[in-house]
Structure 1
Amino acid sequence: MGRVQGKVALVTGGASGIGLSAAALLAREGAKVVIGDFNVEGAREAAETIKNEGGEAAGVFLDASSEQSIRDAVDFTVEQYGTLNVLFNNVGLTNLKKDVDVVNMDLEEWDRLMNVNTKSVLLGSRFAIPHMIKAGGGSIINTASMAAFASDATRSAYGASKAAVVNLTRYIATQYGKDNIRCNGVAPGLILTPAAKNNMPEPVLDIFAKYNALPYHGEADDIGYTVLFLASDESKFITGQTIQVEGGHYLANPTVPDFKAFMAQAAGASQA
């Protein structure tokens, strides 16, 4: 207990999934947490749950596509709790129907994803940093994605937007490090949030499992605990980094599972 005792945190996209996990863990470890989400009722319900468990939290509306809404969420946090020490920029969108390959991509979708996935990180940081400087420092954590590091047959805009988040993280860390502000990212692989469970059929999950180094999928708390670590003073000498939390899915030569199957088949044939 107490890993972030006395800190004030704003978690965007905190009404469900990874954001909700991070908000709950931060509150459990002593932070006062504001949960910002487009689903304001969900944000307020999450805050009530945290308070019922002995933590301190509030929910607020946040539209990550709106500069004013992001500013309002930061201002609300400072008005509610007097300062801001931790910002978790967690909002992110994807669209498998419109965000496809480069030739066929919907260009309006490209602009929308860049605005929400990347510009919201810029704006959240822009509005939070002056308060963090006044507080003597702080920690900004950005949700990137393994799509920033590995290309795919689809989701071109999503991958590009998250790659931009990775580099923006470095820029923020460089520009404000002397103000005692750290900025790091977390890059999830497949995480079994409720949305992922509802939208991914079992054969797709099996494909991911085949290429994981570990024998299981990630869960929201796997990211939540990483965020907690980056928010705490335990990570006080880490900045500008993006931690890949993906079960070793991208770790090995991609042919390894197929070669293992080939060698097992060959060994069985030689024993026959």
Structure 2
Amino acid sequence: MGRMEGKVALITGGASGIGLSSAILMAKEGSKVVIADFNVEGAKEAAEKIRVQGGEATGIFLDAGDGKSIEEAVDFTVSQYGKINVLYNNVGLTNLRKDLDVVNMDLEEWDRLMNVNVKSVLLGSRYAIPHMIKAGGGSIINTASMAGFASDSIRSAYGASKAAVVNLTKYIATQYGKDKIRCNAVAPGLILTPAAKNNMVPEVLDVFSKYNALPYHGEPEDIGYTVVFLASDESKFITGQTIQVEGGHYIANPSIPDMKEFAKKTQS
């Protein structure tokens, strides 16, 4: 308790999943939190949940595709709580029906994902940094993805957008480090958010299990605890990094599980 005492945090996309888990954990550690989400009722419900647990939180509307809305969310945070110490740029979109391979993807979807997944990170940081400088420093955390490091047969725009987030994180860290502003990212693998549980059949989860180094899947809290660490002063000498939280899914030669199966067959 108290790892974020006295801090004020703005979490975008905080009404559910990873954002909600991060908001709850930040509040438990003493931070005042503003939960900004397109689902404004969900954001308000999340804030109420935190208040019932003894924390301090406010839920507001945010359209991450609208620069003015992002600016208003930052301004609201400062007007409500007097400052902003932490910005968690968590909003991200994906669309498996339109974001296909390079030849067949919907180009309008490319533009939409770049606007929401990358430009919202840029603008959130752009509007928060001057306030952070006045506050004596701060921590910006961005949600990247393992899709920014490993390619896929579809989701070309999503992967490119998340790779951009990884590199933008380094640029922000480089440009504002002397102002005591740190910028890091978290790259989740498969995380069992409510959306993942509702949209993934057991057979798909079994495929991920086969290639994970660990014998279980990630939960939203696994990202939330990482975010709290990056938001707190415990990580005061870490900046420009992307922490991969993915259960070891991407660390090994991808043929290892199949080779183990082959070895079993030859030994039997």
TM class by smaller structure: over 0.9
- Residue type at the aligned position of 2:30: G
SS at match of 2:184: strand
Aligned to 1:201: 201
Q: Tell me the equivalent position of 1:212.
A: 212
Distance 1:5 1:266 in 2: 58
CA RMSD of aligned residues (A): 0.3
Q: How does 1:60-99 map to 2 (within 5 A)?
A: 60-99=60-99
| 2:114 match: secondary structure | helix
> How far apart, CA to CA, are the structure 1 residues paired with 2:176 and 2:267?
57
**SS at 1:253 equivalent:** coil
Q: Which residue of 2 aligns with 1:238?
A: 238
Structure 2 Cα separation of the partners of residues 103 and 4 of structure 1: 47
Gaps of 5+ in 1: none
| TM-score, scaled to structure 2 | 1.00
Cα shift at 1:90: 0.1
Q: Quote how far apart the aligned CAs of 1:264 are.
A: 1.3
1:78-123 superposed Cα distances (whole Å, 9 cap, x missing partner): 0000000000000000000000000001000000000000000000
C-alpha separation between the residues in 2 aligned to 1:127 and 1:200? 36
Question: 1:1-272 maps to which residues of 2 (within 5 A)?
Answer: 1-268=1-268
Any idea what the Cα deviations from partners look like across 1:187-228, whole Å, max 9, x if unmatched?
A: 000000000000011100000000000000000000000000
Distance in 2 (alpha carbons) for counterparts of 1:210 and 1:72: 45
Which secondary structure does the structure 1 equivalent of 2:10 belong to? Answer: strand
Unpaired stretches in structure 2, ≥5 consecutive residues: none
SS at the partner of 1:186?
A: strand
Q: Is the partner of 2:34 in helix, strand or coil? A: strand
Q: Distance in 2 between matches of 1:39 and 1:215?
A: 34
Distance 1:237 1:69 in 2: 32
Q: What is the deviation of 1:141?
A: 0.1
Q: Secondary structure at the match of 1:10?
A: strand
CA distance in 2, matches of 1:144, 1:218: 16
- Aligned to 1:130, the other structure's residue is in SS state helix
Distance 1:71 1:61 in 2: 12
In the aligned structure 2, how far is the partner of 1:44 from the partner of 1:258?
Answer: 47
* DSSP-derived class of the 1:59 partner: strand
Kindly provide the amino acid, as one letter, of the partner of residue 263 in structure 2. Answer: M
Q: How far did residue 124 of structure 1 move? A: 0.2
Aligned residues: 268
The alignment's TM-score, normalised by the length of structure 1, stands at 0.98
Q: How far does residue 33 in structure 1 lie from its aligned partner after superposition?
A: 0.2
CA–CA separation in structure 2 for the residues paired with 1:90 and 1:203: 28
Counterpart residue identity of residue 127, structure 2: F
Q: Which amino acid aligns with 1:86?
A: V
